[in-house]
Amino acid sequence: MIQQRAALVIGNANYTGQNTKKLRNPVNDATAIARKLKKYGFGLTSVSDGSFVQMRTALSTFQGTIQPGGVALVFFAGHGIQIDGENFLFACDTDAGGENQAKYSSLSLNQVIDVLDRSKADTKIIILDACRENPFEAAWHRSGANRGLASVFAPRGTIIAYATSPGHIAADGLSSNGVYTGALLQHIDVPDTPIETVFKRVRNTVAADTNGKQITWEHTSLAGDFYFNTSAMSFVTTYASSSLADSLFVLDPGKTSHQIIRGLKSVDWYTQNPAMDRLTPTFANTVKDETLFVLGRNIYQAAHGGARSPEAYIRNFLGKTSGMKPEKIRPLLDGILYEIFFDSRGELREAIKGNMFSDAFELEKFPQFKDSFEFIAETLIGAHGDFYRVPGKGHMLSASVVTKAEKRGRLVTGVFVDTVNVFSLSDPEYAVEEGEPTPARSVSQDAFEEELAKELIVPKGLLQVRYTPALQPIDPIRYPYGWGVSKK
| Of 442, 441, 444, 440, nearest in space to 474 by CA | 444
Please tell me which residue, 236 or 139, carries the higher pLDDT value.
236
96: pLDDT strictly greater than 90? no
pLDDT digits (tens, 9 = 90+) for 426-442: 999 999 888 888 999 99
The predicted structure's pLDDT at residue 170: 67
* Phi (first) and psi of residue 406, to 5 degrees: -130, 170
DSSP state of 396: -
168: pLDDT strictly greater than 70? no
pLDDT digits (tens, 9 = 90+) for 4-32: 899 999 999 999 877 678 888 999 999 99
| Of 124, 160, 16, nearest in space to 78 by CA | 16
| Residues paired with residue 81 on neighbouring β-strands, in sequence order | 88
The predicted structure's pLDDT at residue 143: 44
Q: What value does the mean pLDDT take over residues 287-298? A: 98
Using DSSP's 3-state secondary structure scheme, residue 271 falls into: helix
pLDDT band of 117, cuts 50, 70, 90: very high
Please tell me which residue, 162 or 165, carries the higher pLDDT value.
162
pLDDT digits (tens, 9 = 90+) for 367-384: 999 999 999 999 998 888
Start-to-end CA distance of the chain, whole Å, equals 22
The predicted structure's pLDDT at residue 100: 84
pLDDT band of 150, cuts 50, 70, 90: low
Is the entire prediction scored with pTM above 0.85? no
Please tell me which residue, 326 or 148, carries the higher pLDDT value.
326
Q: How far apart are CA 410 and CA 360, in angstroms?
A: 30
Q: How far apart are CA 282 and CA 287, in angstroms?
A: 10
Span of 116-120, 222-226, 355-359 with lowest mean pLDDT: 222-226
pLDDT band of 151, cuts 50, 70, 90: low
pLDDT digits (tens, 9 = 90+) for 416-427: 999 999 999 999
Using DSSP's 3-state secondary structure scheme, residue 162 falls into: strand
172: pLDDT strictly greater than 50? yes
Q: How far apart are CA 90 and CA 111, in angstroms?
A: 13
Rounded to a whole number of angstroms, the CA Rg of the chain reads 27
* 87 contacts 126 by C-beta, under 8 angstroms: no
CA neighbours closer than 13 Å in the CB half-sphere of residue 284? 26
Query: Which ranges constitute the DSSP H helices of 155-254?
Result: 179-187, 195-209, 241-244
The predicted structure's pLDDT at residue 141: 46
Cβ neighbours around 208 below 10 Å, total:
10
Q: How far apart are CA 416 and CA 485, in angstroms?
A: 10
* 154 contacts 102 by C-beta, under 8 angstroms: no
pLDDT digits (tens, 9 = 90+) for 296-355: 999 999 999 999 999 999 999 999 999 999 999 999 999 999 999 999 999 999 899 999
Most confidently predicted of 132-141, 345-354, 361-370: 361-370
DSSP state of 227: B
Mean pLDDT score of the chain: 90
The predicted structure's pLDDT at residue 145: 41
In single-letter form, the type of residue at position 327 comes to E
The predicted structure's pLDDT at residue 322: 97
b/e per residue 403-422 (b: at least 16 CB within 10 A):
beeeeebbbbbebbbeeeeb
The predicted structure's pLDDT at residue 103: 87
* 376 contacts 338 by C-beta, under 8 angstroms: yes
Q: How far apart are CA 327 and CA 141, in angstroms?
A: 76
The predicted structure's pLDDT at residue 158: 93
DSSP state of 249: P
**Ordered DSSP codes for 65-134:** HPPTTSEEEEEEES-EEEETTEEEEEPTT---SSHHHHHTTEEEHHHHHHHHHHS--SEEEEEEE--B--
The predicted structure's pLDDT at residue 72: 97
